[in-house]
Amino acid sequence: ERGRLMQIFLYASMTAELDPDQVKRLGGQSRWGITPSDPMGTTMRRIDIAQGGNRIVTRTCATMNPGLVASQRDVARFARTHERKFAQRFPQLAGVRQHHSWAGHLCLAANGVSVMREVDDGVFAACVQNGLGTARGTLTGMGAAELALGIASDITRHFAAQDRPSKLPPQPFASIGANLYMRWKEWRARDE
């Protein structure tokens, strides 16, 4: 599917474990999540001891990286954005810093299709979940396994009927355009 898949990286940061005084200042439930209405808005989640300590995770910002690698420079740049958004949302936790920052990969097709097919003799693919990894990844994985076993099902018929991922503009235009578009969408969702 060369020239048809968008390799997107999403960026997140997590605080160090909050001490008892910080937990008290934060208040509220020990576990929660905030999901924005705009996909380019900021997602925040509070986890508790059972999930790795009293911490808050912030996820916002995305880049298209056709080389399949997120740079440390981008991770550091977006960590500063996470710090700013965290400070805006939680003024009662002034001084709490982001302790870990990272990038996670997802694959998109411009026309929203997934790939579930035999790509070579005996080699089956189940990929391009378009940000719906848990549901679509499970279904395409089941479908690929069924294809490998020679089983036809509603799942295999559904994904087999989809078009191929649409062709992207050539590089560097695809990356430049996608990254400009994502910066614009992030700017529009800046208050989410």
Q: In the chain, how long is the greatest CA-to-CA distance?
A: 60
Nearest alpha carbon to residue 114 among 146, 145, 141: 141
Q: What pLDDT is stored for residue 130 in this prediction?
A: 83
Residues 97 and 35 grouped into a single domain: yes
Residue 165 lies in a domain: no
Cβ atoms < 10 Å from Cβ of 125 = 16
Q: How many domains, in total, are found in the chain?
A: 2
62-100: pLDDT as tens digits: 999 999 999 999 999 999 999 999 999 999 999 999 999
Average pLDDT of 162-172?
Answer: 96
96-137: pLDDT as tens digits: 999 999 999 999 999 999 999 999 999 999 999 887 778 898
Residue at token pair 């056709």: 66
Residue 1 lies in a domain: no
pLDDT class of 183 with cuts at 50, 70, 90: very high
Residue at token pair 């898949």: 5
Domain span at residue 74? 9-105+170-188
Q: What is residue 84's DSSP assignment?
A: H
Residues 20 and 69 grouped into a single domain: yes
Q: What pLDDT is stored for residue 46 in this prediction?
A: 95
Residue 110 lies in a domain: no
CB 134 within 8 A of CB 107: no
Residues 46 and 140 grouped into a single domain: no
Residue 2 lies in a domain: no
